[in-house]
Amino acid sequence: MRTGSALVAVLLVGTAVPGWAGIADTPLPSFSDGQPAQLAALVPGVVKNNNVETVVICTNLASGAVDVGLEVFDETGALRNEVNTGNGALLAVAPGRTVSFGTGPVVAVFTEQTLTLNGAGSGTNNLRNGSGRVVTSGAPVGCVAFAVDRLHTIEDPSTCQAPPGPCPQPPSLSNVPLIAACSPAACDDSNPCTVDGCDPTGACTHSAAPEGTACDDGNPCTTGDACGAGVCVGTPLVCGADTPCNQVAACDPATGQCVSTTPSSACVPGGGTSATDCAAEWVVENPSNPKGRNSNQQVCRQGDQTCDFDIDPHQCTFRVRVCLNSHDLNLASCAPGQTSTYELKSPGARSANGRSLLDAVGALAPSARGGKRPGRLVFNPPDGTPDDCTPAVPVRVGLGRPVVVKVKVSSPAGTKDKDRLRLKCARRLGRS
């Protein structure tokens, strides 16, 4: 067999990008018998031009009968045949049976069904740089595709030399690449907090499971494990009083039991004066922070499950608690008092991160906010609960786009505490 230069030129054009639009955007059809179609394979280059036709041959590898169809799209991305009407479809293909579809009649290869192009898209009876997809009512099927010179046939050299001889030009055939579609089972990422599937181009997808889906994070020191943003997250077990700035006990990850420890603080003061810095602090779940857990500069590498609590490759989701009126072992000169106002300077009060933080702090005690300063919470009466901490709040930080949290807290006596926390999402190691 041989490949003519004209055929090669047509195939190069046939793999151009514009033909892919229809594959990605067009919903999968149903067959005329009502069976919904599944994507079986993609054909990046489909040609019907200059006496070259595309032929797709498929064998049913399943144990039962399946419907098989071929959809083709022209260079505008328009669907040029209707599988649901039988144009490009064969129903109830028996196990082991092989069927074939062609964009036009050819002499060299048998085609069981020849597609009729409709008037959509370019409206012409050709596919200069098209694409296609094989669809079935069930998997698996095995397919191959060829670009075939439709004018010539295969002759036996021992007979065609006789008059009128000589032998005609042999047909040109060229393999057309097929991309096998994925299946949800093959795409299983073993994450109970993602829903595995396939997109219209046959690539695996992993979307977040519904918030609150039950899961097990494998950590004996967490409770209430549930899915959030595509990851399994549990609430850390509190050993004794919930005073993260003055911890005297912790959970042993080997046993899941509470044990006494050397007193320590997990809190992040924001860099205010030492006498007032305990008025408002943060707790950031980031045990591997390069600058230490008490630093107000927190760096998480994207994808690090100890500090990044989502599956989005373009961001990190930090888990941050806000604590008011804390007894912080690292701030011996600071005595906790009362909080009358809490003002979030950044991020903006109307941003997603700002709303999450303000909602959590506002729920600690009776409070109100609004007016010309939407980021300002007023506690009435002042919040005097010692070591008053919010639950963990998700704060989303774009890759390479740090989020700076700035707050100003005041007491009934007029003392103020100004704090700053910088959260950075860094690229994971090994990625440029």
Task: State pLDDT tens for residues 283-307.
Answer: 999 999 999 999 999 999 999 999 9
pTM of model > 0.85: no
Residue 6 pLDDT > 60: no
Q: How confident is the model at residue 424 (pLDDT cuts 50, 70, 90)?
A: very high
Residue 200 pLDDT > 70: no
Q: Which residues contact 318 (CB under 8 A, 6 or more apart)?
A: 284, 285, 286, 298, 300, 307, 308, 309, 394, 395, 396, 397, 423
Residue 15 pLDDT > 70: no
Residue 429 pLDDT > 80: no
- The share of the chain scoring above pLDDT 90, in percent, equals 74
Q: Which residue has the higher pLDDT, 432 or 136?
A: 136
Task: State pLDDT tens for residues 63-106.
Answer: 999 999 999 999 999 999 999 999 999 999 999 999 999 999 99
- Return the domain boundaries, the chain: 5-180, 270-426
**Is-contact 173 3, C-beta < 8 A?**
yes
Residue type, 396: R
Q: Which residue has the higher pLDDT, 27 or 181?
A: 27
CA distance 19 to 165: 42
Flag the least confident range among 127-131, 280-284, 368-372.
Answer: 368-372
Average pLDDT over residues 160-170: 63
CA distance 194 to 51: 48
Average pLDDT over residues 40-45: 90
Q: How confident is the model at residue 11 (pLDDT cuts 50, 70, 90)?
A: very low
- The share of the chain scoring above pLDDT 70, in percent, equals 88
Mean pLDDT of the chain: 89
Q: What is the pLDDT of residue 3?
A: 37
Which residue, among 73, 48, 53, has the nearest Cα to 127 in the 3D structure?
48
